[in-house]
Structure 1
Amino acid sequence: MTRTIDIVQKLWNLCNDLRDDGVTYHQYVTELTYLLFLKMAKETGQEGQLPEGRRWDDLKARSAPERLDHYRQTLLDLGKHTEPLVRMIYTDASSFVRKPATLSKLVTDIDALDWYSAKEEGLGDLYEGLLAKNANEKKSGAGQYFTPRPLIDAIVAVMQPSSDDVIQDPAAGTGGFLIAADHYVREHEDVYGWPEAKQREYFESTFHGMELVPDTHRLALMNLMLHGLANDPERSGIRLGDTLSNDYTKLGKASLILSNPPFGTKKGGGTPTRDDLTFVTSNKQFAFLQHIYRALKVHGRAAVILPDNVLFESGIGKQIRADLMDKCSLHTILRLPTGIFYAQGVKTNVLFLTRTPGEKGGTKEVWVYDLRANMPQFGKRTPFTRDYFADFEAAFGDDPTGGPDALAQRVDTGEAGRFRKFTREQIKERGDSLDISWLKDDSADQGELPEPAQLAQETLTELSGAMEELRAILLELGEDETALEEAGVLS
């Protein structure tokens, strides 16, 4: 992996060449994706999907002055190409590069990289390294589309995806969960020993996702391709669309859902436009949570990352939690450390649930693992690694569905430990709040005050929760929704 890391750093350093052209970090990764698709199609022997005259060597062969015009025309032509994957990556593509010399330097430097070593270590890993760089660069704003890989790997390990699953991420971002699930299956099953028909079925119809933002969708398509997963608009892959609209019907039912939905309210304000949700709310996390437990097949399982306000908000929030605990066994909540996401002040959790056959009484007990109290301040000096999840994974057990027998084997560590059990009756006594903590967080009493941006983010999160509660109360009192929108309560 050392050579891959070196190549990622070299690719990232090329961004400096674009700074003078006014190109942002996120634009740079999109631009790099256009170029890398051409280069990697050559390196992987897949140039047959590109029309003649629009391939890497055609771009490289042009003289520096005419290369930029040729490149711009290439983007236009590929955006209309008949091959679906190529067309989806290049639809509405336009170059952010303004100077011919800048493009020529990019092409020359990309061509000079050690692609033999990159192929040996995995082109998918190289591209994911680039996405991670972009997510960790605060100025890029891309962290919202990127879940830390140690967290993804820990979640996937306890959920144990298999080739029998239909796996879905309704807020796919750059595809990290789906790719990690595929990696787990390949590690635990002899995928390449299967008959060809079974291999094709697995790669072409197991993984399903949806992403709202076009540029992020491009990155996801590239990521899937480099990891050997198909993106078939009719069957599978990551589709461009809004899960909170009737686009959700393209996803279908799943036996395993893994997701980190976006935080905040629906873009542009207002409520989801899909017409099937029982509880209407502008809070995206609550809307996605409803989608997730409704989209699960009976006995299907899910792991979803959600902020603290989902655990304690009253009004519609309380109703959604009660509905969730009726229809599913919400068997485990993992309280995550702070400071591991792009929005430092957002405190998050992973909810692990299994769809039960009935409509009532699905949750008998909820186990809460506190990985937040007395944890390090994560950052460059203390990187967030998979090792921090080792005790949680052991405590979770071997049953990804959290069945009764598995839960009976768990050990409640008491008030001094990190893992505790709460019965459904105890949770009802708490007003159906799942924001449960018991450890004194000594780390919170030490060290420096949080950054101003973190304090502001925490305040915004709390205000958002308060507005949602106010909205629910007013609607329950019979206020007109249009009038609330005009008053700014639903904006």
Structure 2
Amino acid sequence: MNEVTRTTGDIVQKLWSLCHILRDDGVTYNEYVTELTYLLFLKMMQETGREERLPHGYGWTSLAAKQGLDQLEYYRHLLLDLGDTKKTTDPTVLAIFTDAQTKLRKPANLKALTSAIDKLDWYSAREEGLGNLYEGLLEKNAAEKKSGAGQYFTPRPLIDCMVRLMKPKPGETIEDPAAGTGGFLVAADRYIKDATDDLFELTEAQAYFQRHHALSGLELVPDAHRLCLMNLMLHGIEGNVDCGDTLSPDGEALAKADLILTNPPFGTKKGGGRPTRSDFSVTAETSNKQLAFVEHIVRAMKSGGRAAVVLPDNVLFEDNTGRRLRSWLMELCDLHTILRLPTGIFYAQGVKTNVLFFTRGKTDKANTEAVWVYDMRAGQPSYGKTRPLRIEDFAEFKAAFGDDEHGGAERQDQGETGRWRSFTREEIAARGDNLDISWLRDGEDEAEEALQDPDDITAAILGHLREALREVEALAEELEEGSEELSAVVEAAE
């Protein structure tokens, strides 16, 4: 680890340790990160000389100078006014502070936070990038299993692998319809900046497009949306990520994209509700969010556009709507690659996952000729606190995938004893379009026996329970679909 990274890591650790101050104030981990977002926003506006974005009279200097109850009252009024359209005109500031409320009740705790933040090494933090500092804080929160924030956070090594294989380019529109805290969008932006000397190789118009219009998306959860906007802003991105439901008309309003990178939420739609999209046909009657997100992604892709999507195993094998969706996907798109991810990456959700890589066809017929499957799960160590995922773990898969972002590089089938195999469209059809393809001994039981950290062991048990519940929900939905189809047949016969 170099010195700059160590400095940022030290700051993140100090910020995270402050959460202990708030325990007796009844503040949870997620509430603490949201609270820190408000305070860090004000401090970072001061550090970057952008306090003109705030209404006159509000700012870090005024807040930090106050004491006791005066400081807490000022802070409460500040949060209300920064989210008030009558007092704040900056759209990003408004979005971050909409419905903002402090969970702090004791003036001493607010003073402890503002004093500690003032004492941090802000010069070094600016040198490395305030965005990196904030991302480090989000990662820390996601790694803390008690926070439950893992549902909004995809591991950085996996994001980096997906981005490098999809090769985002300047001028492309890039979308994440389940943006979470913005990890995919930040990584795609960083990839483009690294390739263009921080956008200096682009024309002024191209650079403006990159900062203001290239990136878009939606995030359903208001607090996650807040964190996302802060993350994007600190990375120099004024992207168009709104708070909304992709499976509603909000999703229809998203523009067509050249590249979609996403990890949609797992589970069923709240209350068992169906998508409310007028353009949905395949998944209009399902409450399974992952299936519905796949339909959105296909419909949101430009002709020739590409996607890399994290999806749980059930999307690959579910019958009825699931099977119809997979058949439809392989007609409209070239589903060229499936990566079977190892266990332990998404213990918060408790499911086995994959990455699907596909390209939207120029026509709507017979676009998938073969699907290549890489098994990174069988016989692999179980990842967790004692064995974190690293970018190096994807090296063999990246080499097998090749250098073509559309999956068109020359590939070599490794046979039944290897991890990399090709299956023709005819072979998949013979399986009933079931894409849950494995041929190596799983070795999962042995991997879980090797788990040492109590949190990892508990998470693995919870994972199995959640997956079992998910399978019961899927079965119930299939039975309901079958019942509806039978009723329709009976009505037609009568």
TM bin (shorter chain): over 0.9
1:336·1:349 contact (CA, 8 Å) conserved in 2? yes
1:177 and 2:184 are equivalent in the alignment: yes
Whether 1:75 and 2:79 are equivalent positions in the alignment is yes
Q: Is the 8 A contact 2:303 2:362 kept in 1?
A: yes
For the residue of structure 2 that corresponds to 1:239, the secondary structure is strand
The aligned residue for residue 332 of structure 1 is 337
> Contact 2:176/2:185 (CA < 8 Å) preserved in 1?
yes
Aligned to 2:171: 164
Output one character per residue of 1:22-64: Cα deviation in whole Å (capped at 9) or x when no partner. 0000000000000000000011111110122210001011122
Aligned to 1:209: 217
* Greater mean deviation of Cα atoms: 344-353 or 123-132: 344-353
The amino acid across from 1:465 in the alignment is A
Which among 345, 350, 367 is matched to residue 345 of structure 1?
350
Q: 1:472 aligns with which of 474, 481, 485?
A: 481
* 1:115 counterpart = 2:122: yes
Distance 1:42 1:417, change over 3 A: same
User: What SS is found at the alignment partner of 2:21?
Assistant: helix
Equivalence for 1:483:
none
How many angstroms does 1:225 deviate by? 0.3
Residue by residue over 1:234-289, the C-alpha shift from the partner in whole angstroms, topping out at 9 and shown as x without a partner, is: xxx21111000000133110010000000001122210111111122110000000
Deviation at 1:358, TM superposition (A): 1.5
Select which of 209, 224, 228 maps to 2:232: 224
SS in structure 2 of the partner of residue 20 of structure 1: helix
Q: Secondary structure at the match of 1:183?
A: helix
2:434 counterpart residue number: 433
> Residue 263 in 1 paired to residue 266 in 2?
yes
- After TM superposition, the structure 1 = structure 2 runs for residues 287-366 of structure 1, keeping only pairs within 5 Å, are 287-343=292-348, 345-366=350-371
* Matched letter for residue 137 of structure 1: E
Question: What CA distance in whole angstroms lies between the structure 1 residues aligned with 2:211 and 2:103?
Answer: 34
Give the 3-state SS of the residue equivalent to 1:361 in structure 2: coil
Matched, 1:273 2:276: yes
What SS does structure 2 have at the residue aligned with 1:192?
coil
CA distance in 2, matches of 1:116, 1:127: 15
Answer whether contact 2:347 2:463 (CA < 8 A) is retained: no
Cα offset, 1:458, TM superposition: 2.1
Q: How big is the shift at 1:195?
A: 2.5
**Structure 2 partner of 1:128:** 135
User: SS of the residue aligned with 1:362?
Assistant: coil
CA distance in 2, matches of 1:358, 1:346: 34
Q: Distance in 2 between matches of 1:63 and 1:29?
A: 23
2:394 pairs with one of 389, 392, 399? 389
Separation (CA, whole Å) in 1 of partners of 2:196 and 2:420: 32
Q: 1:145 to 1:443 in 2, by over 3 A?
A: closer
Cα contact 1:64–1:104 (8 A) shared by 2: yes
Amino acid paired to 1:305:
V
Corresponding position of 1:32: 36
- For 1:72, the aligned partner's letter is R
Partner of 1:412: 413
**1:447 offset after TM fit, Å?**
5.3
Match status 1:142 vs 2:145 = no
In structure 1, the residue corresponding to 2:26 is in which secondary structure? coil
Give the whole-Å Cα distance in 2 for the aligned partners of 1:379 and 1:447. 10
Letter in 2 for 1:162: K
Alpha-carbon displacement from aligned partner over 1:417-450 (angstroms, at most 9, x marks no partner): 0000000000000010000000112353465296
Q: Which amino acid aligns with 1:289?
A: V
1:8 equivalenced with 2:12 (yes/no): yes
Corresponding position: 1:43 with 2:47: yes
Cα distance in 2, alignment partners of residues 94 and 442 from structure 1 = 48
- Change in CA separation of 1:289 and 1:446 when aligned onto 2, cut-off 3 Å: closer
- Picking from 452, 463, 466, the partner of 2:461 is 452
Question: Separation in 2 of the partners of 1:380 and 1:325?
Answer: 37
Q: Which residue of 2 aligns with 1:254?
A: 257
User: After alignment, is 130-139 or 68-77 more displaced?
Assistant: 130-139
CA–CA distance in structure 2, aligned partners of residues 287 and 458 of structure 1: 19
TM-score, length-scaled by structure 1: 0.94
Number of positions where the alignment pairs a residue of Structure 1 with one of Structure 2: 471
Read off the aligned partner of 2:417 and give its amino acid letter: A
- What is the alpha-carbon distance in structure 1 between the residues aligned to residue 201 and residue 462 of structure 2? 52
Alignment RMSD: 1.4
Q: Give me the whole-angstrom Cα distance separating, in 2, the residues matched to 1:96 and 1:342.
A: 28
Between 166-175 and 466-475, the greater mean CA deviation after superposition: 466-475
1:119-165 Cα shifts (integer Å, max 9, x gaps): 11111111011111111111111110000000000000000000131
Shift of 1:382: 1.1
Q: Which runs of 5+ in 2 are unaligned?
A: 452-456, 490-494
Please say if residues 308 and 348 of structure 1, whose CA atoms lie closer than 8 Å, have aligned partners that are also in contact. yes
Q: What's the counterpart of residue 195 of structure 2?
A: 188
Aligned to 1:380: 385
How many Å separate the matches in 2 of 1:319 and 1:132? 37
Contact kept? 1:136, 1:342, Cα under 8 Å: no
Q: Are 2:464 and 1:463 aligned? A: no
What is the DSSP-based 3-state SS (H/G/I as helix, E as strand, rest coil) of the residue aligned with 1:257?
Answer: strand
Whether the 8 Å CA contact 2:72–2:110 is kept in 1: the answer is: yes
Give the % identical residues. 59
Aligned equivalents of 1:55, 1:320: Cα separation in 2: 51
Task: Give the alignment's TM-score, normalised by structure 2.
Answer: 0.93
1:69–1:344 distance in 2 versus 1, CA, 3 Å: closer
Tell me how far apart the structure 1 counterparts of residues 488 and 348 of structure 2 sit (CA, whole Å). Answer: 34
Shift of 1:394: 0.8
The CA deviation string for residues 440-471 of structure 1, in whole angstroms up to 9 with x for no partner, is: 12353465296431221221122122123222
Q: Residues 245 and 273 of structure 1 are in contact (CA less than 8 Å); yes or no, is this contact kept in structure 2?
A: yes
Equivalent pair of 2:256/2:301 in contact (CA under 8 Å)? yes
2:97 and 2:169 mapped to 1: Cα distance? 32
Moved over 6 A (4+): none
Per the TM alignment, residue 371 of structure 1 is displaced from its structure 2 partner at its CA by 0.3
How far does the alpha carbon of each residue in 1:74-111 deviate from its partner, in whole angstroms, 9 at most, with x for none? 00110111111111100110100000011011000011
Structure-2 separation of matches of 1:446 and 1:396: 26
Write the distance in 2 (CA, Å) between the matches of 1:302 and 1:473. 32
In the other structure, the counterpart of 1:367 is: 372
1: distance between equivalents of 2:360 and 2:33? 38
Q: 1:296 to 1:117 in 2, by over 3 A?
A: same
